[in-house]
Amino acid sequence: MMGWPHPASLSKSGLQANAVPKTKLANPMPLDSVAVPIPAQGRSNFQVPVQFFTLMAVNANDLRKGMAILHNTDVCVVLEVTHRTPGNLRAFVQAILRSIKTGKSMDVRFASTEKVETVPLNSEKMEFSYKTGDDYVFVNPESYEEVTVNPEMIGDAKNFLVENGTVTMTFVEEKVVQIEMPASVVLTVTDAPEGLKGDSANNVQKLITLETGVQISAPLFIKTGEKIKVDTRSGKYMERA
């Protein structure tokens, strides 16, 4: 069987000259498995061979945010789940799914007892290393393998990413499907204008700029050069670090 390189060894123009193929052993496909094509991480035209998943069927009522499922032969990540019981009608589950092949989101309705096939996920701690163009490059601190992520996947996390900052990255095979920031991060204040004289109330705040370029509200006593703790879920000031 021909070896295929890790996605981290891909460049925008294709395979790097020094990429070393990794040989994978062929496993017999279990009876309850379905062949699912997984696109290569990165943006080259390099094609990844079909991989095989062992799928487990669950009731749609058991779907949760962050799970990966097989929907219409496409692997999708569950972004939101709402359980509804409209009057005397049968209960159903309204889910927002994102295709990992196209990146597009869709609104799907399932009967609460409908069987849905889930796809195994793998989570790893990764560290932010640097930007290349608009993309973000992360490194596995143990294996030193690099993973490049587009800005659409990063989303608002860019406001809290600093060099060597740690995130939890979730993969379906070798495709990034989700990035989770820690609940809080420590950032340096790069600009904190002086408060106006006479402003002595405890709840008065001012707009400050952090090292990532994002601006948030903070108490008047915060000064340029200080480190503060920020809630990554709300983007709000928490305390001095």
pLDDT, greater one: 44 or 205: 205
pLDDT category of residue 53 using cuts at 50, 70 and 90: low
Return the CATH number at 90: 2.30.30.30
173: left (phi over 0), alpha (psi -120 to 50) or beta: left
Are 159 and 146 found together in one domain? yes
Contact between residue 154 and residue 179 where contact means Cβ atoms under 8 Å apart: yes
Closest among 146, 150, 151 to 127, alpha carbons compared:
146
Provide the domain limits for residue 80. 31-37+49-120
Q: Is the pLDDT of residue 13 over 80?
A: no
Q: What is the pLDDT of residue 103?
A: 80
pLDDT category of residue 96 using cuts at 50, 70 and 90: very high
Q: Is the pLDDT of residue 6 over 90?
A: no
Q: What is the pLDDT of residue 46?
A: 27
Q: What is the pLDDT of residue 196?
A: 63
Instruction: Answer whether 0.75 is exceeded by the pTM.
Output: no
Over residues 70-84, mean pLDDT: 91
Q: What is the pLDDT of residue 50?
A: 35
Q: What is the distance between the terminal CA atoms of the chain, rounded to a whole angstrom?
A: 53
Last residue of a domain, one of 130, 161, 180: 180
For residue 44, give both structure tokens.
Answer: 């080259």
192 located within any domain: yes
Spell out the residues 6+ positions from residue 16 whose beta carbon is closer than 8 angstroms to its own. Answer: 9, 10
pLDDT category of residue 124 using cuts at 50, 70 and 90: very high
Number of independent structural domains in the chain = 3
pLDDT in tens, 163-197: 999 999 988 877 888 899 999 999 999 999 987 65
19 located within any domain: no
d(CA 139, CA 146): 5
Contact between residue 85 and residue 68 where contact means Cβ atoms under 8 Å apart: no
Q: What is the pLDDT of residue 168?
A: 94
pLDDT, greater one: 239 or 204: 239
Contact between residue 112 and residue 93 where contact means Cβ atoms under 8 Å apart: yes
d(CA 12, CA 135): 11
Are 165 and 190 found together in one domain? no
Over residues 41-70, mean pLDDT: 66
Last residue of a domain, one of 162, 180, 198: 180
Q: Does an H or E element contain 152, and which?
A: helix 151-154
Are 78 and 109 found together in one domain? yes
Q: What is the pLDDT of residue 111?
A: 93
pLDDT, greater one: 35 or 175: 175
Q: What is the pLDDT of residue 121?
A: 87
57 located within any domain: yes
Are 126 and 72 found together in one domain? no
8 located within any domain: no
156 located within any domain: yes
Average pLDDT, the chain: 79
